[in-house]
Amino acid sequence: MELKNLFKLGAVAMALSATIGLSGCGGDININTGNETVDPTPTPTPDPDKSDQEKAYEGFATKSTTFVSVDGKEVWELKGTLAPSSAASTIGSAGGQDGNKIVLGNDVVWMLDGAVIAGGDNADSVELEIQPGTKVLGGSDSYLVVSRGSQIMAEGTKDEPIVFTSSVTALGQEGEAGQWGGLVLLGNAPVNTCPDLSACDAAFEVGSHNYGGNDETDNSGSLKYVRVEFGGFKINDTQEMNGISFAGVGSGTEVEYIQVHENNDDGVEFWGGNVSISHVVLTNNFDDSLDWTNGWQGSAQHVYIRQADNGSNRGIEADSNSDAQATPMSNPTLANFTIQVANGENSGGDDAEGILFRKGTAVNAYNLLVKGDVDSGECLEVNDDNTVNNANSDMLVVENSLIDCVEPFKDAKPDAEEGRTLALDVEAWFKGQDGNLEGASDLNGYMPNSSSVALTGGKADLANMDDRLEDAQYIGAFDGTNDWTMGWTTDIHGESTDPVALPTLTSCPVGTTSEPVVAGLYKDSSVTLVCSLQGNVLSNTTLLAGQNVMYKLNGGAVVVGGDNTTPATLGIQAGVNIFSTSDSYIAVSRGSKIMAQGTKEHPIVMTSEEDVLAGATGERGQWGGLVILGNGLTNKCPDKDACDVAFEVGSHNYGGNDNTESSGQISHVVVKYAGFKVNDTQEMNGISFAAVGSGTQVDHIQVHANGDDGVEFWGGAVNIKYVYLTENFDDSLDWTNGWTGKAQFVHITHEDGAANRGIEGDSHKSAGDTPTSMPMIANFTIEPGVDIENASGDKGEGILLRVATAAKLYNVLVRGRKGATGETESGECLELDGTYSGLVDNVNDGSLSIMNSIIDCNEPFKFSNASDPANNLTVDVETWFLGQDGNSTAEVMLTNGMPAATDTVLLGNGKDLSTEDSFFEATDYIGAFDGTTDWREGWTYAPAQ
C-alpha cells in the first residue's frame, strides 16, 4: 500500500527522515522509512531460522514495510485473494494456514491492502479464522470480502473483541468515518432481484463480487464480539461501503455481539438472505444504522442504535422491492430495539429520523423503543402503496412498542408524481396494535430507569413465537439491569468524563428574533447574541444551546400551539438560558409539547430579566413561569369528553379524558424568580401542571423563589422525580382537582418569613366530583421556615391535607425549627383539615395514609375544622399518625438536607415501593437522600445559606 493512503502530509515528511516512534490510542507504533529491502514473494517452505510469525504467515501474507509494529506487535499485510494451499500446514500456537483454513493470529496486527477477498466465488473456498483480540487495519481503498462458499470465523470474546479499524488510528490519529471500507459477507441465500434463484448472480454494489442463490440455510461463518470502526469509504455519489454488508447471507451464519461505529454510509445492511443477528450496537453512523432490502427474512434482537447529531439519517430504513411481485418479500422479525434519534441533519441534507418502512416490506416487530430528541425528525414513517397494503393486511406488524418523540409519526400520503395513491394514518395504525404506547420512555442514557414503562410493557413468550428469539418481556434493548454492551464496545460508556463545551452561535434559530446586545448590559460578558421569543408558536421551534446566547421571553404569554389545534413542539436544548420580561411566561397548549431536555452538566435555566442584567437583582415574582396544559382528567369537569377548564391566569383551557397523554419532557430544568401577581387571587406558579398526563416525563427540576407556589397540579396524572423546591413564597408543592400522579425524591426548603406550607393537598368541595386527588408520594424531606407570617399573613408550616383529598405518603420527613417562640420555630408540621367531610372519610377508610415517616417538630400535629367544629368530624392526628406502620416523632440530624452516612434514624427505616409500583426506585430510607448521593449536585441553583 502506498504511504499516501496512510499518512497526512506532516507524518509523511517525518517518516522520510527517520524511523519514528508514535504513541496514541493504538499503543506503541514504529514506522519504517521504507529504505529496507523486503522480498514481496511469499516463501512457503519452512525455514528454521525464521521467526514464528514468518513460518506461520509467509504462505498467504507479507510482513509490512510501512509499519514495523503496532501495539508492540509486527504488522502483516493481506492482499488480493486468499486461496487454499497444498503446502504443509503452518498453523502454530497462533495462526497460519492448513489447506483451505487460514488463521489470523492475535500475535500480530493485520493490515488490508486494497480489496482482500476470502476465496473465489463458489470456488476455491476458504475458512478465514480470526482469533480473539486480533486487530485488523484498513487503508483508504481497503475492505474485506468473504465470497460465496467461503466462511469467516471471527469469534472474539467480551474481554478480547476483534477490532476492524482504520490504519489512521494506528498512527495515533483520530478515527473518522470513511477512512477505510468495511466487511462484506456474500452468500448463496435467496434475494428478490433474481427471478431464477438456481442461477443467481446479483452484483454487489462495490467491486466485482456476486451474491445470491437458493440456499436459505447457507453458512458464511460466525461473527462474535466484533467491532467495525471508521469505515465506509465513498467511491462515488451512489456507491459507498457499509460497516458490515450481508448480501444473500443464509441462516446458518451466526452473528452476535457486533458493533459498527462511525461508518460513512449504513452501519449494517442486508440484501435478501436469512441471516439473524443479536446483541448489536450501531453508533454514530452517517446514513441508516440498519438497512434491509431485496427480501431479507432473518431476525434481529437486542439492537441498540444511537445516532449522531447533525451526522445521521435513519435508525432503520426498510425496503423489499419496488415490484410487489418480487419474491421473497422482505419480512424480518425484530425484537428489543432501542433507537436514540439524533438532532438535525447530516451533511447530505438528510434529517435524523427513526424508522421508515417502504418499498413493500413486511415485518413482525416487537418491543421497539424509539426515543427522539428536541430537533429530531419523524420517528415512525410508512411510505408507498405496497407497504400500506402490507400494513392493512397485517403483514406489517409492530406491537408492544414505545414511541417517545417530538415528531412521532409521519403518514403515508398519495403522491401522483411518485406514483402513490394510498394513505395511511400511521398513528392510528400504530396505536391500533397490541401493547403500543406513545409517551415518555424514562431512560437514563440508554438504560430504562426502574420507573420506566418499558420494563413492564414488553411482549411475552417471544421464543415460542419465533425460535430465533429469546424471551425478553421488556421494551427496548435493555432490561434495566444487564448491560450487555460492557467490556467490548467503544464510545458509549463515557470514556470521556469532560462535558462537551457548548458551541458558539452566530445567528438566532428559526422562530426567534435577534436583539441588539450592548456591551456591559448583561452580567455574563460572554453573551453576544440574544434571541427573542414571543407570541403564538405555531410550528416546531428549537432553542439551540450556545455559550454566547440567551433567549428572551417578551411581550406577554409565549403560547406553544393552539388549544388542541395546530400542535407544535417547543424544543429546548441542554444548556439553554432563558430570561423573561415582567409580563411574560410560557404556556404549552393542550395537544402540544415542550421538550426541555437539559443534563446535569448543562441544565436549562429559566429566570427573570433582572437576574441577568448588570446592576439588577433577581427576586420572586419578576416574571410568570412555565404552564403545561393537558387533556388529562380533572374533577372540575363532570363531562370529561367536553372539558374546558379555564386556567387561573390568561385565556388558556385544560382538561379532558386522557390521563396517559404526553405533553413532552422537562428534565434538568431550573425556574427562578417567577410567579408574578395578577391580583389578590391570581398569581403564577413556578411550574403549573394543569391536567397533564402520565406520558409526560418530569425529572430533575428546581423552582426557586417563586412568588406563589413552586409546583402545582390541577388534576391529571403526571409523575415527578428528583425535585428541589427552594424559598417559594406560598406552598412549595400544591395539588388539587384530582391529581393522581406520583412523586419521589423531593426536597423542600423555606425562607423564613417568606413562605407558607411545604405541601398543600386538596381535591374537591362537592360530593361526587371525580376523580378524587390521590397521589402516591415517597421520599420527601420538608424543612419548613419559622412560624412567622409572610407578606400575605401565612406562617411557615409543613404539610396540610384538606378539601377531601386522599393520598398515600411514604418515607416522608418533616423537620421543623425547634426554637422557643414563633419567631424561632416552625408552625404545625402535619395538619389535617376536616372542613370537607370527605377528608375524614378518607382517613377512616385508609385512602389517606402516611407510613414509614418522621415528624420532628415542636408543634408536630394539628386538626382543624373551620366550617363546623361541632359536627364531630374530628381526627386525633397524632394518634392517627403514630398508629400507622413505621411512623415516629424521632429527632433527626441533617446537614443541607442530608443525613450523615452513619445515620440510623432515617437510613434503613424506609419502605421499598419499587416492588409495588415500577415508577418508584428502590429505597430503604426516610427522606429525599440516602446519606451518600446528593442528586442536586451539579445542576441546581444553591440559595445562599
Distance separating alpha carbons of residues 638 and 711, to the nearest angstrom:
25
Q: Which pLDDT score is estimated for 256?
A: 98
Q: Which pLDDT score is estimated for 850?
A: 98
Indicate the SS3 state at residue 108. coil
Q: Which pLDDT score is estimated for 501?
A: 78
Q: Which pLDDT score is estimated for 860?
A: 97
What does the pLDDT average to over 176-197? 97
What's the count of helices (H) and strands (E) in the chain, helices before strands?
8, 63
Q: Which pLDDT score is estimated for 43?
A: 45
Closest CA to 406 of 696, 600, 832, 759: 696
With a cut of 80, say whether residue 39 has pLDDT above it. no
Distance separating alpha carbons of residues 609 and 607, to the nearest angstrom:
7
What does the pLDDT average to over 295-321? 97
With a cut of 80, say whether residue 414 has pLDDT above it. yes
CB atoms within 10 A of CB 895: 7
Q: Which pLDDT score is estimated for 13?
A: 28
| Lowest mean pLDDT across 13-22, 97-106, 818-827 | 13-22
Q: Which pLDDT score is estimated for 48?
A: 67
pLDDT digits (tens, 9 = 90+) for 771-799: 999 999 999 999 999 999 998 888 999 99
What does the pLDDT average to over 171-197? 94
What does the pLDDT average to over 810-827? 92
With a cut of 80, say whether residue 171 has pLDDT above it. no
654-658 LR contacts (CB < 8 Å, sep 24+):
654/590, 654/629, 654/630, 654/690, 654/691, 654/714, 655/630, 655/631, 655/690, 655/691, 655/715, 656/590, 656/630, 656/631, 656/632, 656/691, 657/631, 657/633, 658/630, 658/631, 658/632, 658/693
| Lowest mean pLDDT across 239-248, 675-684, 868-877 | 868-877
pLDDT range class, residue 856, cuts 50, 70, 90: very high
pLDDT range class, residue 881, cuts 50, 70, 90: very high
Residue 4 phi/psi, 5-degree rounding, is -65, -20
Q: In the 8-state DSSP scheme, what is residue 818?
A: B
Q: Which pLDDT score is estimated for 872?
A: 59
Distance separating alpha carbons of residues 858 and 796, to the nearest angstrom:
13
Who wins on pLDDT, 181 or 65? 181
Q: Do the Cβ atoms of 721 and 711 come closer than 8 Å?
A: no
Q: Do the Cβ atoms of 209 and 147 come closer than 8 Å?
A: yes
With a cut of 50, say whether residue 616 has pLDDT above it. yes
With a cut of 90, say whether residue 868 has pLDDT above it. no
What does the pLDDT average to over 887-915? 97
With a cut of 60, say whether residue 46 has pLDDT above it. no
pLDDT digits (tens, 9 = 90+) for 95-151: 999 999 999 999 999 999 999 999 999 999 999 999 999 999 998 889 999 999 999
Q: Which pLDDT score is estimated for 4?
A: 30
With a cut of 60, say whether residue 30 has pLDDT above it. no
pLDDT digits (tens, 9 = 90+) for 58-105: 999 999 987 778 888 999 999 999 999 999 999 998 999 999 999 999
Q: Which pLDDT score is estimated for 874?
A: 86
- Strand 604-608, strand 577-580: pairing: parallel
* Cell matching residue 122: 463458489
Name the average pLDDT for the chain.
92
- Percent of the chain beyond pLDDT 90? 83
Q: Which pLDDT score is estimated for 56?
A: 97
With a cut of 60, say whether residue 603 has pLDDT above it. yes
Q: Which pLDDT score is estimated for 65?
A: 82
pLDDT range class, residue 238, cuts 50, 70, 90: low
Q: Do the Cβ atoms of 166 and 179 come closer than 8 Å?
A: yes
* Cell matching residue 419: 406514483
What does the pLDDT average to over 226-240? 85
What does the pLDDT average to over 759-780? 96
Q: Which pLDDT score is estimated for 643?
A: 97
* Cell matching residue 520: 456591559
Q: Do the Cβ atoms of 280 and 268 come closer than 8 Å?
A: yes
Q: Do the Cβ atoms of 698 and 637 come closer than 8 Å?
A: no
Q: Which pLDDT score is estimated for 495?
A: 58
* Cell matching residue 324: 410487489
CB atoms within 10 A of CB 48: 5
Place of cell 413561569: 625
Q: Which pLDDT score is estimated for 503?
A: 84
Distance separating alpha carbons of residues 785 and 818, to the nearest angstrom:
10
Q: Which pLDDT score is estimated for 177?
A: 95
pLDDT range class, residue 47, cuts 50, 70, 90: low
What does the pLDDT average to over 649-659? 95
With a cut of 90, say whether residue 267 has pLDDT above it. yes
Q: Which pLDDT score is estimated for 871?
A: 56
Q: Which pLDDT score is estimated for 24?
A: 32
Q: Which pLDDT score is estimated for 239?
A: 75
Distance separating alpha carbons of residues 511 and 374, to the nearest angstrom:
14
pLDDT range class, residue 174, cuts 50, 70, 90: confident
With a cut of 50, say whether residue 31 has pLDDT above it. no
CB atoms within 10 A of CB 823: 12
